[in-house]
Amino acid sequence: MNFEFLELLKGYIPVIAVLVSAFIAFISNIRHKDLERFYKNAESNLEKLIEPMYFTVKNIEAVEDKQYKIKLINDFFNTYAPKKISVSKLGNRQLINKYFEAQTAFNQYLNNFDEESLKLLFFKIGSLRYHIEKEYWKLFETVYKDYNWYKKTVDMNYLFRFFLRISFFIESTFYAVTWLSLFFILFVTFDGLSVFGDTPLWGADFKPKIQFAVLIFAVSLVFLYLTMFINFAFADDTKQKKKFIDYASAGLTFVWKKCALKWREWKEERANRKEERERINNRQADEQTERR
């Protein structure tokens, strides 16, 4: 029966091959069109919306004078008002929320004109700048990721170019293996210490497993640094990607500013309480003097 089915299927192999080829071509065509539309939208959003917004907000944050800063913020929301731009073109839900939060804080300041609303406004503008900067560099890396690569390799021998591509692939592979092995080391360590339960999930032979995991981690780390050195020496920053230190420093700067704002609020609140106590004490002293 099986042989009869195979014989019958053999006659339909050309038809099946044509159908599979047509399906693959259809999927590839859809993917190509989606990618083409994505890159077109990314380039348009970067040049016409994200980049002007980023440098405008960055300039606002650099201003020290409060009144001039408020004027620039007012100009910013007049220029990038929802009636004049399509906010959805920001393309990032979190960024859109930050935009509306900053706009709400600005309207709140216009209604109250107090110091607390002003501090909240400056904080929301700083948060908006941070998220716009993040989106700006993501789009920049997407649109211009191969620009330096082609500029670097346009006159390079095709064999060297091929091996350099392989080196990038190896670097990405060992980067993933290094992180996976590190997570495996942590898992085996916690499992051996019975953190996940009384009975280890991987059995009682804890020492050989941790030695094996450490060996994989060490080897992958060595090859990772080796390929990173080769790629840096011959290709440098061909992918236009920001380094980890750039994102870390940006995040630390954001946290530092937030902590500094909280510290300043606490000091001002403490000074206000002290001033209020002194005023109450002076009033009580004046009342006692009048009674005498």
Residue 92 one-letter amino acid: N
As a whole number of angstroms, the distance between CA 238 and CA 153 comes to: 9
Task: Give the confidence band of 203 by pLDDT, cuts at 50, 70, 90.
Answer: low
Highest mean pLDDT among 62-66, 144-148, 158-162 belongs to 62-66
Q: What is the mean pLDDT of residues 20-40?
A: 79
Do 119 and 176 share a structural domain? no
Residue 273 maps to a domain: no
Task: Give the confidence band of 54 by pLDDT, cuts at 50, 70, 90.
Answer: very high
Tell me how many domains the chain contains: 2
Q: What is the pLDDT of residue 71?
A: 93
Residue 284 maps to a domain: no
pLDDT higher at 231 or 117: 117
Do 57 and 160 share a structural domain? no
**Where is the domain boundary, 78, 112, 145?**
145
Residue 290 maps to a domain: no
Q: Is the pTM of this model over 0.85?
A: no
Lowest model confidence (mean pLDDT) among 30-34, 89-93, 198-202, 223-227: 198-202
Do 131 and 7 share a structural domain? yes
Do 95 and 202 share a structural domain? no
Residue 100 maps to a domain: yes
**Where is the domain boundary, 145, 160, 177?**
145
**Residue 52 domain boundaries:** 2-145
As a whole number of angstroms, the distance between CA 139 and CA 143 comes to: 6
Q: What is the pLDDT of residue 250?
A: 47
Which residues, including other chains, have CB under 8 Å from residue 101's CB and lie 6 or more apart? Answer: 124, 127, 128
Q: What is the mean pLDDT of residues 233-239?
A: 62
Lowest model confidence (mean pLDDT) among 158-172, 205-219, 248-262: 248-262
Specify whether the CB–CB gap between 84 and 75 falls below 8 A. Answer: no
As a whole number of angstroms, the distance between CA 169 and CA 163 comes to: 10
Residue 68 maps to a domain: yes
Do 103 and 8 share a structural domain? yes
- The string of DSSP codes covering 163-190 is HHHHHHHHHHHHHHHHHHHHHHHHHHHH
Residue count of the chain: 292
Do 134 and 225 share a structural domain? no
Do 198 and 117 share a structural domain? no
Residue 167 maps to a domain: yes
Residue 267 maps to a domain: no
Q: What is the pLDDT of residue 73?
A: 93
Do 186 and 133 share a structural domain? no
pLDDT higher at 156 or 110: 110
Q: What is the mean pLDDT of residues 135-139?
A: 89
